[in-house]
Structure 1
Amino acid sequence: MQNSTKLSTLSFLLGSFFLCACSSTYQVVKSNRGEYKVTQDVTADSSVIRTYQPYKLKLDSQMNEVLGYSENELTKKLVNGESSLGNFLADASLAEARKIVPQIDFTMPSGNGGLRNDLPLGAITLSNVFQLMPFENELIVFELKGSDVQTLLDYIAVSGGQPVGGLTMKIKAKKPADVLIGGKPFDPSKSYSVLTSDYIAGGADGISSFKKPVSSKVLGLKIRDALIQYIKESKNKGVKISSKLDGRITND
């Protein structure tokens, strides 16, 4: 019994010691602040370079992959309401999305501000596509009432033109005119299947057309991935990317 009592007492004392040790508090008594300017005069740290170099080489090899080829430079410069790059992005997004939802009527997958870089004449690399579309924007198909489609057309007109596919229109005095969807005159009494991105649908640039859709379907396809697929498929067919101004939007 005495040994048992001694062990219990010893366990209690050790527990109390560790409890007190764990409850100790520390206070900062002194701190020093320094600034280190990063300039060209700073020598490279070889140990850091050795650490990231294998990852950089692997990433470079992936980003330098040639996806396909273009017959002409695709630029985001707006000319009379459209751009060669915007036309390409809209047509490629629409083509890939229609493999999932064939009945899509037209698309405005991105605004002009979402096109971040031109695509070059000749080889198009994975890096080029990431520079063009660095965002993780998802493609979504919305069924919209004619009245909501009208507000989208109004936005395209007042903004001077946006990337569109499956749609042609004239802009007169900042208002849409002679609108054709799928080659047929726009009918405000009908519903239309419209492809766009989650960013546009979320109200980007004050767009409210997608707030109350009849229905919506997330495709599980990013704009960037649609472009990559489209360019690769063209290359496999032996076809070069060719996107030019075709008058789908004219701004009078």
Structure 2
Amino acid sequence: MDSSIVADSRIIDHYTPYKQKLDAEMNRVIGISDQYLTHSRASESLMGNFFADALLWKGKQLDPDVQASFSTKGGIRAELKAGDITIGSMFQIMPFENVVSILTLHGADMLRWADYMAKTGGQPAGGIKLVVKDDKVVEFLVQGKPVDPDAKYKLVTYDYLANGGDYVTCFDDVIARQDYKQLIRETLIEYVSDLTKQGKHIQAQLDGRVQITK
């Protein structure tokens, strides 16, 4: 196809109203970020913390017993510029149709999760503090407390990771799993919209939740 082919005006007239509606929705402002949320391969990033915090927020809504959240760096596909936040920017961050999954895990498998994060240079997570030195976990807290290998924990993530995506093998022996119809992208939109309703802006921070040193 090249410029010699003339566009069919009937087709254009047919889809133009739909495109206009879609563009209007994608450009709809739902919140404000006070800073540029960068995304990198570092152990912790502003974008990663924002994403994990949104996931933990929704997880606790769905199940008040949820204690931690988990994503991977590869699952976050865009950064977030300072200023107006639109619906379209949420689609850029999470273009996939992944849904929320809540896993009930043995404490021993939570420790395996910590080892996975240590070996992969840290991953976006919420509700935890992870300290790694020389590729070894030296401190791992969930909701401020050391993990008990014999206790049970609830973690919110998404179906791709719960299924073992991104080489995640620590969820192969879950006690229970609940998948929801809630898309991760919808979660991000709801989280930002809720902040806006409270008169708040997005103010993600690097808070030391994942620390990796050599």
Structure 1-normalised TM-score?
A: 0.80
**1:77-226 alignment to 2 at 5 Å?**
77-79=40-42, 81-108=43-70, 110-226=71-187
| Residues 67 and 125 in structure 1, CA contact (< 8 A), matched pair in contact too | yes
Comparing 217-226 and 81-90, the one that deviates more: 217-226
Write the distance in 1 (CA, Å) between the matches of 2:4 and 2:139: 61
Q: Provide the residue aligned with 1:51 in structure 2.
A: 14
Q: Which amino acid aligns with 1:54?
A: P
Aligned residue pair count = 213
Distance 1:72 1:238 in 2: 16
Percent of aligned positions that are identical: 38
Alignment match of 2:27 (pick from 64, 88, 93):
64
Give 1 or 2: higher strand fraction: 2
* Counterparts of 1:76 and 1:165, CA distance in 2: 16
- Residue pairs, 1:2-17, within 5 angstroms: none
**Paired AA for residue 170 in structure 2:** S
CA distance in 2, matches of 1:234, 1:205: 30
The higher radius of gyration belongs to 1
Shift of 1:44: 3.8
Structure 2: gaps of 5 or more residues: none
Equivalent residues of 1:97, 1:219 under 8 A apart: no
- Cα distance change on mapping 1:129 and 1:43 into 2, 3 Å: same
Pairwise CA distance, 1:206? 1.8
8 Å CA contact retained: 2:87, 2:189 = yes
1:87·1:165 contact (CA, 8 Å) conserved in 2? yes
Q: Return closer, same or farther for 1:45/1:105 CA change in 2, 3 Å cut-off.
A: same
Of residues 183, 189, 207 in structure 2, which corresponds to 1:228? 189
Q: Deviations over 1:87-110 (max 9, x none)?
A: 0011011112201201111110x2
TM-fit CA distance, 1:43: 4.8
Q: Which has the higher contact order (CA 8 A, sep 6+)?
A: 2
Name the aligned partner's letter for residue 153 of structure 1: A
Name the CA distance, whole Å, in 2 between partners of 1:230 and 1:129.
Answer: 11
Which of 204-213 and 98-107 deviates more? 204-213
What's the counterpart of residue 240 of structure 1? 201
**Which consecutive unaligned segments of at least 5 residues does structure 1 have?**
1-37
Contact 2:130–2:140 under 8 Å retained in 1: yes
Checking the alignment, whether the CA contact within 8 Å between 2:108 and 2:148 is kept in structure 1 is no
- Give the aligned partner of residue 75 of structure 1: 38
